[in-house]
Amino acid sequence: MNDETTLTLPLLPLTSGVVLPGMVLTLALETDEARAALDAASSAGGRFVIVPKVEGRFATVGVVAEVVERGDLPGGLQAAAIRGVERAVLGSAVPGTGRALWVESSPVVEGEPDERAQQLAREYRAVLENILESRGAGGLAARLRDLSEPGRIADVAGYSPDLTDAQKVQVLESLDVTARLELVLGWAREVLADLTLRERIRSDVEEGMERTQREFLLRRQLEAIRKELGELDDGEGGDDVSDRLASRDLPDAVRTAVDRELAKLERTSEQSPEHGWIHTWLETVADLPWGITSEDRLDVSEASAILDEDHDGLPDVKERILEHLAVRALRARRGLAPVEGRGSGAILALVGPPGVGKTSLGASVARALGRSFVRVSLGGVRDEAEIRGHRRTYVGAQPGRLVRALREAGTMNPVVLLDEVDKLGSDFRGDPAAALLEVLDPAQNHTFRDHYLEVDLDLSDVLFLATANVVETVPGPLLDRMEVIRIDGYTEAEKVAIARNHLLGRQAALAGLVDGELDVTDDALAAIIADHTREAGVRALERELGRLARKVATRLASGTIEAPVAVGAGEVTGWLGRPRFFFEAGDRTAVPGVATGLAVTGNGGDVLFVEATLVDGPGGLTLTGQLGDVMKESAEIALSYVRSHATELGVDASALTGSHVHLHVPAGAVPKDGPSAGVTMVSALVSLLTGHHVRPSVGMTGEVTLQGRVLPIGGVKQKVLAAHRAGLTDVVLPARNGPDLEDVPEAVRESMTFHLAADVTDVLAAALVRSGGAAPEVLPAEAGVAA
């Protein structure tokens, strides 16, 4: 409450700091204003009013202070010891003597504190004592106990270094004692909570450091005791890395490297980062299956049965695996020692289009041999360190994929599938394909050295199976180290068997169907293969069977049909919709100037059409269909041959004079290249110029020369299978490719006629329908081959 007495006192503004009642402090008189106020105070009984200025404004409440002593500081600057007496509400300025500013002020008289104020005062004093004691100022905490008035206790906040000047002004302007105590108590609690948290963190850190140091000393003492005793504690350390390494059958060179690293580990402090690196390296070496090999299944008949159980067809791959197994069995039976530097492993490359079972074959081979199986995906790998590992100097270094594969397999002679080896990349980090040269060389891989391990690793007993879609993107030196086995695709009969024995049951189970609920006839499977898929493999076929199984499951669940559900050839369209593929060769070749060719892509064999037409204009040749350079040259050769042999071919030479030739290969969005379309281009041009259309059942392939010779090409099996899938019954091949027909499945050979052509005239005789629609004369030949 305010006293009715009004005092007129000189004013001393403070630009820094806040003075509260009861505070005693030394005030340096640095300004003329301060010295004038102190001089004027002598005429006012030694009293004056102190008002703080904070954040650009003067407080509305000041403190009446009195001068305790005045003198000079050691530097000669005047100073005064003052003591805050009481609060005073400032009034208006009045005239006064001297240079000082005089103001009217009304002292504030605090009433008798209530019980609430007494309680807050006690609590605030306790909080302040805790704060002071945590800061090591126990003496000041004892002096607080001498204060009893709640208002004086609240004003002790003026000494607090944790409060800002603005907060202290709030305390100064709080005239009600209870409100003032609540204000400072809230701030004091926040300060105490912050100090308590800091103390707990500091205590935890110190405790952790002490525990670490104590454990370090105890471990060093334990090591010293065990060294003095010359023995290890058998009750502990069973899982210790040194014990695990001692139990391994390590080669001599590896044992020497391990002993060296163990000795280095003992000398290295656990606080050093190198301790962790060494320990991780030792753990990696201990995890490898040194000296552990799985025993091969040497029963050739049993292994053959396993391979046939897992995969239909693929005779070349199965034969090569059985050869490998038979050699192992024969050497074991005769007790022959291994050839020095050559283990029992093999390096095979399975090359073929997607979906023919290359990857799944790896697991089947491992099961047939009784070995562990590990798959290493190489698609998109660009870093050499993925193969050879990282140097130990790098943070987070780890061994390469081959070392990790051995660790995962648990034996030194697993079957390792190097998947998608044709999709390896290379950049500034190195060439992974070059790193594989040592791995896949039988003369070198018994001393393979990983950058992380830096010890020789014997990979000669590993059976490596590499898979690729095409060999053109595999580097030559790497391809030279592998035995290539081509998987060119399946015939329709083989696909039906695969669907019946493997795919249909798996997809029915995934759809929730049990045995006997879905019955698909062989004719229905053949219809799905012919009308809804056209691929070398069976991946799309499995998706279509999955669709069929899900549709059947949906109707069974809804109650619209009852099991068992039989699907015949006539019901396929009702379940899977309209056919997606058609036999279009007849429609496309119904007009002159269109011929059917055969090609090989990354997805297997395929059928392509070559269209030719004449347009008015200057002579020349236009090529469309996104053709490569080699294919463009084949078109130019074909046109030059037709021009130079027009009379022999029955072509009117004047038709080419003053006309522009346009050759187009449809599916323009697909890049095409290669020389094997030469005979197809010649046939299209001759058909256009003579008016005789190409027989719709004929597909052809072969490179042509300017003299009309037909040169051999590659991919005969894939092209023949593609022709068979497309419904063609006659295939024209270069004569020198005749022996390659032995690779074609017998069922396909028996259902097709092959015309072996050495010259373009042989091709035209087999391909063109002469006047009257008569087919060319075909000489009888063995196995459906026409010479």
Query: Which residues are known to be catalytic?
Result: 676, 719
> Whose CA is closest to 108, among 177, 198, 208?
177
- Using alpha carbons, list the distances in angstroms from residue 168 to 15, 86, 734: 13, 15, 105
Question: Any residues with CB less than 8 A from the CB of 366 and at least 6 apart, and which?
Answer: 372, 373, 414, 415
Q: Tell me the C-alpha distance between 747 and 398, whole Å.
A: 52
> Whose CA is closest to 461, among 624, 313, 295, 585?
295
In 304-410, beta strands by DSSP E = 346-351, 373-377
User: By the 8 A CB rule, do 328 and 298 touch?
Assistant: yes
Task: End-to-end CA distance of the chain: give it in Å, rounded.
Answer: 129
Neighbours of 642 (CB within 10 A): 24
Question: Any residues with CB less than 8 A from the CB of 643 and at least 6 apart, and which?
Answer: 653, 656
Neighbours of 392 (CB within 10 A): 17
Q: Tell me the C-alpha distance between 498 and 489, whole Å.
A: 12
> Whose CA is closest to 9, among 33, 53, 45?
45
User: By the 8 A CB rule, do 541 and 524 touch?
Assistant: no
Q: What is the DSSP string of 559-623?
A: TSS-S-EEE-GGGHHHHH-S-S----HHHHTSSTTEEEEEEEETTEEEEEEEEEEEEESSSEEEE
> Whose CA is closest to 317, among 326, 305, 327, 307?
307
Chain centroid offset of residue 666 CA? 38
Question: Any residues with CB less than 8 A from the CB of 733 and at least 6 apart, and which?
Answer: 700, 701, 702, 716, 740, 741, 754, 755, 756, 757
Kindly report whether the peptide bond that precedes residue 564 is cis, defined as omega within 30 degrees of 0: yes
User: By the 8 A CB rule, do 752 and 729 touch?
Assistant: yes
Neighbours of 427 (CB within 10 A): 9
> Whose CA is closest to 64, among 44, 90, 78, 85?
85
For residue 30, give the DSSP letter. Answer: -
Q: Which ranges of 462-596 would DSSP assign to H, the alpha helix?
A: 476-480, 492-498, 504-510, 522-532, 539-558, 572-576, 585-588
User: By the 8 A CB rule, do 286 and 244 touch?
Assistant: yes
